[in-house]
Each structure stands twice: as C-alpha cells, then as structure tokens.
Structure 1
Amino acid sequence: YATSSYYSWLILNFGSYCYFSEKEMLLLLNFISVFAALKSTKQQRLRQALLRRNCAVGNQSLDNLNDSDLKNFIVDDKHGIIYCYIPKVACTNWKRTLIALNYSEPYPDPMSFKHNWVHQFERFQHLNDFPKRFDVYLFVLQAKLKHYTKFLFVRDPFVRLISAYRDKMLNYDQYFYEGYVRLILLLYEKQTNITYNHEVAKKQGLQPSFYEFIQYILDPQTEKKEPFEPHWRQMYRLCHPCFIEYDFIGHQESLQEDAQELLKILKLENAIKFPSSYENMTSVDSVMDWFQSVPLEYRRKLYRLYEKDFKLFGYRRPTELLDD
C-alpha cells in the first residue's frame, strides 16, 4: 500500500514536473491526512487490544489501588485530561505542555518553563488529591476516569533503564547521590570512607558502573526497604494499565507523531505545539554496548523483572541480549 510519507515525497519532488490543479492538490492532501489518521487510529486500537489481552488474567479493579498508586496521575479539569507520567518517557515536556494549557489563550511556549520548576509536585492536581471520604472519593475518581481523556507514554524498558542510569547515576544531584549512588558504591564496590557530598563525589569521579546499577535493581534487598525509585520502577506499576482503560497510549519511539495525534484528539493541535525532543534515541547496537558488561544470567533476570512492561506495551523480547 502507498504510504502518506510517499505521497508527501511525491509532491515535494515532482511538483515541478507534474501538473496538479488546486482541486486535485487539495484532494491529495486530504487523502494523506485521512490515511495518516486511519493508520494512527489502527495503531491505537492495536496497542489497546494488546493491553486488554495481556491484562485478561486476574481480577482487576480500582478497589485494588491505594492512594500512593495514584501519585503519578495529573488531572487537568479545564481540558478533561488525565495524564499518567512515567519518568524518562518525555514527562518533562508533557508537564510543560500541561502547565502551558492552564494559562489563557494564546498559550505560552511550553519550553519557557524550566526543567526543575515543572517537576515540583505541587504544580499539578493529582488523582489522589480529591476528598478522602470514601463514597465521595470513589464517585469523583470513577467519574473523572470515565469521562476524561486518559493517556500515557511508554518506552522500551531496557532503553529507559539506560536513560535512568545516565541521568541519575552519572549526572546525579545530592538526592540521588545520597539515596542511591553512594549506597551502590558501598554495596558493590565495597568502598569505604565515601564522601556524603555529591559535588565532592563528582570531583573525585565517583560513579557506579552500569553493571553495579543492574545488580542493585536485581538485589532482593532493594525492594524490601521501599519500592523502586520511579525512574526505574516498572511502567505498569506506575500507571496501572490493567486497572485503568487508557484512551491513548503513546510511544517514545514515535513521540512527535503520537504527541501531534493526541493534541488532535484533544482539539488542541492549533492551540499549542508539543516541544521537539532532542534526546538521542538509543539504537539496538548501543543497547548491546551498554549490556556487554552485564553477565547473561543477570540480563535474563532483568528481563523477567521487566517482562510485564515488554509484553503489555508491545516491545519485543531482546533476543540479542538474552539468547546464547
């Protein structure tokens, strides 16, 4: 079948050689738009069907969710939106966009809001902020979940882990140094007398290896103390896709196209522009490079730990990392 990108290329490259009347050009452009919409709608149906199929096992009910399970759900009553954010999956730019939408039109440029500022929890209303009297709370919760447009964006689970390592283990602040980096160095490098100050640590070149980070995640003791830090917690545990029926499931790998489609669904495509992403998308070869230092046994354990994310969101099993 011809694709919309092919027709776009045809127009751009053969416009000087082929004669299109204005009417024909409009019809062709309309076809491209409709084709892209149908293709995109089909993709959303496939993503949602995959979720339903993989969630079919077990008793899934909102009653199983507690207050802390709803921390990652941002509510925008003005536009009827619920966004479940997943760290390391474009959440900074989606938060910027949602903040901009809370201003009057014309909306400000989302990029005008600073990175650290948009991550302050109190900037948003969350799904667990509503009255806690159980009958009222459940009524409000169910009404919003039924009538609002609910969306999330996901990412290849191993690529997300690499991104979390680079951001929080190599480019750490005091919080991540004190809570995680220093602990990993003590546990797996057996270092002693390590500074408590992250700036001193950076000057000394202190940083855990990727393998040590994976060891920490796989260590049974890690989650005995507290749940995984959200930057490496499984995506399904943050957004509960088997309890909540999402209207839109975006992928980091097709971020700009998916973001544009979502804004169209929300009838906001002409009112605001989702920021361009400049993050270097990690290739299969690059993932292989990162995991070279991780023994096969640990890779397989790691896959089992994140297997539900792979299956629920349609990411292939990375055989090149897991098979002999």
Structure 2
Amino acid sequence: MVATMFSKVKHAIIRKQASQHIQLGLFVFGAMTILLLSYQSLLNDSLTQNKSQFNKRQLNPPKTSDVSNEDFLKQMKQRMEERRSQVQKNCQKLGLKHNKGNTRDDLVSSEQYKTIFCPIPKTGITHWKIVFTELIRDTHLDTNSEDFSIQFKRQHQIRGAKKYAYLSDPKWVKMIVVREPFERLVSAYRSKLETIPGSYSGKFAKKIQKEFGDPNEERESPTFSTFVNYLVETHPHSLTEDNVHWTKYTTLCQPCDLDYDLIGHQETVAEDSKYILQHIGAPNDLSLPAAYQNHTNQDMVYEYYSSVQPRHQVLKLYKLLIEDYIIFGYPPPPVLKRLFGDNYSIY
C-alpha cells in the first residue's frame, strides 16, 4: 500500500518536472525565435535604407564641373558627414563596438598632414599609397617597384604608443576607402589567385586548390567557385585572419572602433579623392593618378558568381559579409537578384 502510494507520488513529481522542462524549453525557443526575427528585421531594414540612399547618391552625385569649389566642398562635407553618421548608427544597431586596444597594425600615417589611413587592398589602394608617398616627399620609395606596397608598409606603418597617441588626438584625421564587397572579392581573385602568381599568393592559390579543388582537375590555381567554397567553409579564419586581400572591413580597419572622419568609396573615387586631398591640405597639384579606373563591372561580377557551385554558397558568402554591406551603406549585391530572383533568403 505504502509502496503503491510512493510510486504514484514519484511518477507525479516526474511528470511535473517533465512539464516544467518542456515549458522552459518552449520559453527559451520562443525567446530565441523573437531575437532572431528581430535581428533579421534589423538587417532587412538597414539594407532597404542603404539601397534607397545608394540609389539617391548614384542619381544625384555632387557636381564638379559647373559649381564653384566652395559649393563642391559643402556638398562633399555633407556626404562625408552622412557616411560617418551611417557607420556610427549601424555599428550601434549591430552591437559591434569593440575594444580599441585590439586595433590591428595595418594603419599608416603622414605626420606632416596629421592623417591616419587604413589601406584596404583591392580598393584602388596602390594609387592612394602613391599619393601618400608624394605627400610625405619620400624619395626612398620607388613607386614603380614590384615590391612598392611592401616597402611602403614597412616605412609608414604606425605601431604601439605612437599609434594610440595619434588615434586619440582630435587634430588627426582618420580616413578609409572601401568598395562593394562582392566586387572586391572578384578583383582579389583575379589578381592573386586566377593565375599562379609568385611568392606568397602563389602558395595560397596552390593551398586552396589542393584542399578545396576538384582532385580530378589538373590545375594549380583554384577556380572562383573553389575560392568561394574555401571562404565559406573555413570562416571565420578565411575572412578575418587569412589574407588582407579578402579580409572583411570590420576586421581589417575596425570602423566601429576608430570613428573614421573621411570615408571614401571606390564607386565615387573622383569626387571623394578630390575632397579628401583638399580637406587634409594637400598641394593643389596633387591628385589620384588619372589612369586609375575600375576594371570589375557588374557583368564581370555576374560571370564569376554564376560559376559558383553549389549555388547557395553565394548566399552564405553574402551572409558572412553582410556587416560590411550594412555598415558602409551598400545595398545587397545586384548579382543576387540575377542569380536567385527577388525572393532569396540568407537565413
């Protein structure tokens, strides 16, 4: 009798505990679902706003030929303030404020013009380095040398106490130049991996092909599809520590920490460079080399991304880069609509 009652009480307790666990599980699941939906809504709202603002900028660029220089400077000052505000707002939305003590050693500086620059490869950066070399009158650097970029970094990179002193001084100007992220990856692939280059990049190309390429193909350099699969499958290492030519902006230049004063876009480089150089007080005869132009158009971007197999890896790659898109005001890459139509999802 007692044993029977004990058994009933025991089973009742077990059922109650099971019910409590189920309720707790449902609560946690519901809370996580709400957080996920809220985050997705945040990303969608930000990207929609970016698309509207980006289209407006493309349709109504600052006039450079039929207005005075004073009016041009006013228009460009507004553009830079809008970009800076956008970065600050979106960093806050995404919760991406970090510790400035973790700042990477990729910054270069000009003490004469009190300017700090975070050079991002594949954004036309070699031409900006040439401009900086002219600014600081560095006669030791040969801008035509094959290892010019390496020499430049060695001589003008700032580290340690000097770096943090410059960053905390309001008299110093911090600048960065970015580019549409998908387009930048195509440019990086074409120059560093598509054909076997020398030294470090050649080793990278062979490594990627060996680990992710088709073993039945007799080739040393990876296809673009292999490159994309490599980036997706080895994330986060591939986009944060692997190679500066495809490292994410949020990692390479930490825009949510450093509060850049001047934010250039490669897509508007003519106006941006003119304003930036005037803003820092560069000589009037100094400008970005006229020979510079973007050789990666949207048809070429589509050609490369349409080759990716399996196709869903393109969406995964976009998801990994979405913070760079949102923070710097870029709308979703046009190639996604061409590949997947209007109803694609990255979740």
Shorter chain as denominator, the TM-score bin is 0.7 to 0.9
CA distance in 2, matches of 1:314, 1:219: 26
**Identity rate, percent:** 26
CA distance in 1, matches of 2:200, 2:255: 29
Are residues 1:40 and 2:76 paired?
yes
Change (3 A) 1:243 1:280: closer
CA distance in 2, matches of 1:49, 1:237: 20
The corresponding residue for 2:174 is 150
Candidates 317, 322, 332, aligned match of 1:302: 317
Candidates 174, 183, 207, aligned match of 1:159: 183
After superposition, the C-alpha distances for 1:81-103 in whole angstroms (9 at most, x for unaligned) are: 10000011121111122122222
State the AA in 1 paired with 2:105: K
Change (3 A) 1:252 1:77: same
The corresponding residue for 2:85 is 49
Give the CA deviation at 1:249: 0.3
Give the CA deviation at 1:2: 9.8
The corresponding residue for 1:18 is none
Are residues 1:60 and 2:84 paired?
no
Change (3 A) 1:111 1:34: farther
The corresponding residue for 2:158 is 127
Give the CA deviation at 1:191: 3.7
Are residues 1:316 and 2:319 paired?
no
CA distance in 1, matches of 2:79, 2:224: 34
Higher Rg of the two aligned structures = 2
The corresponding residue for 1:198 is none
State the AA in 1 paired with 2:114: G
After superposition, the C-alpha distances for 1:192-226 in whole angstroms (9 at most, x for unaligned) are: 9x9xxxxxxxxx86321100010111113772898
Candidates 94, 118, 126, aligned match of 2:149: 118
Kept after mapping to 2: 8 A contact 1:92/1:115: no
The corresponding residue for 2:11 is none
TM-score of the two chains, using structure 1 as the length reference: 0.75
TM-score of the two chains, using structure 2 as the length reference: 0.70
Report how many aligned residue pairs link the two structures: 277
Change (3 A) 1:314 1:111: farther
After superposition, the C-alpha distances for 1:262-319 in whole angstroms (9 at most, x for unaligned) are: 0110121414222124344422222111111124311110001110111111111025
The corresponding residue for 2:22 is none
Change (3 A) 1:125 1:251: same
The corresponding residue for 2:127 is 93
Change (3 A) 1:221 1:236: closer
CA distance in 2, matches of 1:46, 1:115: 37
Secondary structure, aligned partner of 1:147:
coil
Please show how residues 1-324 of structure 1 align to structure 2 within 5 Å: 5=63, 8=66, 31-57=67-93, 58=95, 60-61=97-98, 63-66=99-102, 69-103=103-137, 112-120=143-151, 123-130=154-161, 138=164, 140-144=165-169, 146-171=170-195, 172-178=197-203, 180-191=204-215, 206-220=220-234, 223=237, 227-294=241-308, 295-318=310-333, 320-321=335-336, 323-324=340-341
Deviates more, 1:111-120 or 1:226-235: 111-120
Change (3 A) 1:244 1:308: same
Which blocks of at least 5 consecutive residues in structure 2 are unaligned?
A: 1-58, 342-347
Change (3 A) 1:49 1:115: farther
